[in-house]
Structure 1
């Protein structure tokens, strides 16, 4: 959440009056009274255990406080089980607080409400709606999702990216049901084949056509149906809806509670754009969330800390990364499959050209061929742009600094700095005696260690989240069903080899997407970028053209003229495709590396 314009004026009030947040930067250096420190030491067994094990966490061991000890208030605030400390220390408020203040009304909003009216609440600028009444007061201070985003991303891009995640699974199921219905009707002869005569087998565009229409209608309207049925789960935090913008005091309290919202959210939903890791608010939100999960993991009985793998397994799995690039990539994948049907029709017209001479059939074939080439080029360009964005994101993580990050309203930086110091202490990244600069550097190092592995794990090696990879498979399944329905309607019948051939042909597409996306995730000069574009267009064209060759092989095999070993060859190709898909979109690479390490450790 980049600091939005309605919230920007609050930063000046916080900077002008530090008492609004309970204590100021200078308070972090003030000593705790000696009698209070001694009393806390005597009554807190947990605090004594923490000091005993602090050396393993990189925190200097400290003995029992003497009359001259100077301990930071935030150190004791990390251990709220000590009642005497809670009642005597100044109350922590502002971004530094990980607990909701009693005066704060904890609110949540359903993603269905955010997607209502084509994402009207996602509109930035003068048309933005700040309606706190659309959210609901929560009985318990626990949220399912914290939505972290930048207001520099446009409404429609953000809407499509969010709808693909929240409505994608339901839309894919609806589309598959429609595809199966079209398949049955086409195979039974109710829906006719296109461009069929005595010399060709015909074309069926019905599964891809109606399946795509059903999918996008469901994407755009599923949340509306859920609202009509009064289904508002899960609960999410979204800044302009969960923070009351009509009252300055309420607005200030809502902004101060952002860290508490992060601390009490089960998952972090990141709408990832090319500027996400350049904004101080969005990086603070991700850093605070990861610090919360790290702190909870360490506080859960393991005082010596956990390694990166344990954190990614237990805490990193709660980070959902939804790239805004999917708003253009997924529709392009659907259009690409539509162009396949046009390509089939173009090939049909080219076969007729030899009999009829140059006529309108040839012109239609040439037009469709040019459209197919343009579609392939646009798909490659989108994948290349997303690959370059991923390469830049990794560089942004490695070079991020809270002091140099972009901030819409400069006074906010001071309040974030104060919260960073408290979170660094709370997460045991630094001791209470650390300076503000040391705390920032510690949390920045923590972010560099955690943020990119978590993002890379959520995005997969192909740069496409696993849940969106299934969505891309919807039009691929439609093409396979169309081809099988043509086999049945044309009298070729259905056998194991034919089904396997159709599956192998359509799986080429997601594999091509993965290979192009992986190869494009590097920085390159303009010249190499142009050469790479041409090679990738040729690569996609060659892979997609194998479908026509596969159709011919299936027809020959059905007539008894095929190679007897075709089934074995296709089975081998299919297994290789599954392995490539598992490594590209799943965790195949991680698991294979883990097996290799175990084998090496046993040998040693």
Structure 2
């Protein structure tokens, strides 16, 4: 298709009425375009582009701060297959979206590398190469420091090989003709994407583009499309990274101070953790209430009342130039893919709604995300090895405890708090009531204290009968492993 022909279709002047614009779309090129859109093909092979995730993560902050938005397109490359399609609202904070993508893509490799670094430091200490200092100082925190450094270096520099669709980088924003070709080829972008990542906030439901992208992905992948969709609220990545950093800093402060774990260490930890837990519970309650808001919005979704940036700006660019109307192209694609606007709206209110509720209620704080956020607890336990019993079983019992807390104890208690928060989310709607509920949820953290006392009793019993704590830690790991498996598989929403 020639550029002049395409311009007739997508270059509708902004001052024309909607009827006149429709007349332009009813030109001789429409039939060919409809066939391309129906088959979800690209107008040209080089239209489909993706940006390497590592390039996005390493280059986007510099270009974003320098406001070089027009240069994003040069970061992408032509491809036939995309690993991810990133759907997002342009109104959401770019910083939140960036940190979210950073955590989702590099968080697990960073978790693995950080843990290996901590294990390496632990092994060096056991070998006697690194002295086990029993007075206050950084040497007491070698495992935590090694793990933290390994984690954040990997988080920032991991060379992810994924190719993703990101509209700023994969659609030419400075050339209206190229942009129109890409928009008309949106079905090709969706069809060649293995998965869909929705960077969620409450504005997504109101944006026609976002709902169209999700529905288009469902259309391209068939009845099992929901298995390839990940919905992640934009606050999740930053929240989990802040939690990870907070636990790391708290552990380093405690270990370097040389405070005994009983009682001053426990008092220090409780004092620092309490306000953080209150704030976290407040955020969780807000998220739970947002699920109800989302359900209401999606159940009443209509194309007519959904928003487009081009229409909101009056089809005029910031520099005064004409801005192409995306809504007309989207409506053409909807007719080609779903048959009618009513069928599209029906899919949004049924399949999309079911998928969104499940993901937002069950997958936001998943087991592995909680493990990744709390893994510094395992590194700190390794550092505490030098003040434990001096026996051959000490390294093994230390490792059992290091596995038990981040993989079993903390995820189980977190899940219980999440489920209780969802149940009580609507007990009050004022800010004061929500803060009171947050304080009440923190009381549930006493379960952790009760578990810790039970573990101490097991240790004493084990020490009396076997002369070490190994049986106690083994029993604790088996019991909490069973509890964790049952809770994460069967605890209802």
Alignment TM-score > 0.5, same fold: yes
Aligned runs of 1:572-583 on 2, under 5 Å? 572-583=479-490
Q: Matches of 1:564 and 1:330 in 2, distance apart?
A: 32
- Residue 161 of structure 1 is matched in structure 2 by 100
Contact conserved, 1:147 with 1:236, CA < 8 A, in 2? yes
Contact conserved, 1:107 with 1:237, CA < 8 A, in 2? yes
Post-superposition offset of 1:293: 1.9
1:135 to 76, 94, 104: 76
**Is 2:329 the counterpart of 1:415?**
yes
1:493 to 389, 393, 396: 393
SS for the counterpart of 2:55 is helix
Q: Matches of 1:379 and 1:486 in 2, distance apart?
A: 32
Post-superposition offset of 1:217: 1.6
**Is 2:18 the counterpart of 1:114?**
no
Contact conserved, 1:316 with 1:454, CA < 8 A, in 2? yes
- Residue 531 of structure 1 is matched in structure 2 by 436
- Residue 274 of structure 2 is matched in structure 1 by 373
SS for the counterpart of 1:269 is strand
SS for the counterpart of 1:144 is strand
**Is 2:158 the counterpart of 1:241?**
no
SS for the counterpart of 1:409 is helix
Q: Matches of 2:15 and 2:330 in 1, distance apart?
A: 11
Post-superposition offset of 1:118: 5.5
Contact conserved, 2:241 with 2:373, CA < 8 A, in 1? no
SS for the counterpart of 1:146 is strand
SS for the counterpart of 1:92 is helix
Post-superposition offset of 1:342: 4.9
TM (norm. structure 2) is 0.78
Q: Matches of 1:513 and 1:403 in 2, distance apart?
A: 41
Contact conserved, 1:270 with 1:321, CA < 8 A, in 2? yes
Q: Matches of 1:552 and 1:335 in 2, distance apart?
A: 31
Q: In structure 2, do the counterparts of structure 1 residues 293 and 350 end up closer, same or farther at CA, with 3 Å as the change threshold?
A: closer
SS for the counterpart of 2:459 is helix
Post-superposition offset of 1:264: 2.9
Q: Matches of 1:126 and 1:118 in 2, distance apart?
A: 10
- Residue 302 of structure 1 is matched in structure 2 by none
**Is 2:304 the counterpart of 1:399?**
no
**Is 2:444 the counterpart of 1:508?**
no
Contact conserved, 1:458 with 1:465, CA < 8 A, in 2? no
Post-superposition offset of 1:148: 1.0
The structure whose Rg is larger is: 1
**Which runs of no fewer than 5 residues in structure 2 stay unpaired?**
1-9, 312-324
Contact conserved, 2:396 with 2:470, CA < 8 A, in 1? no
- Residue 178 of structure 2 is matched in structure 1 by 250
SS for the counterpart of 2:305 is coil
Contact conserved, 1:350 with 1:365, CA < 8 A, in 2? yes
C-alpha RMSD over aligned residues: 4.2
TM (norm. structure 1) is 0.65
Q: In structure 2, do the counterparts of structure 1 residues 519 and 26 end up closer, same or farther at CA, with 3 Å as the change threshold?
A: farther
105-114 or 551-560, larger mean C-alpha shift: 551-560
Contact conserved, 1:504 with 1:573, CA < 8 A, in 2? yes
Q: In structure 2, do the counterparts of structure 1 residues 93 and 564 end up closer, same or farther at CA, with 3 Å as the change threshold?
A: closer
Post-superposition offset of 1:545: 6.9
Aligned runs of 1:457-496 on 2, under 5 Å? 457-458=358-359, 461=362, 463-465=364-366, 468-484=369-385, 486-487=387-388, 490-491=390-391, 493-494=393-394
Q: In structure 2, do the counterparts of structure 1 residues 103 and 137 end up closer, same or farther at CA, with 3 Å as the change threshold?
A: closer
- Residue 318 of structure 2 is matched in structure 1 by none
**Which runs of no fewer than 5 residues in structure 1 stay unpaired?**
1-9, 28-72, 75-88, 198-202, 227-232, 295-310, 353-361, 426-438, 591-604
Post-superposition offset of 1:161: 0.9
- Residue 346 of structure 2 is matched in structure 1 by 445
Post-superposition offset of 1:215: 0.9
Q: Matches of 1:148 and 1:237 in 2, distance apart?
A: 9
Query: What is the aligned length?
Result: 462
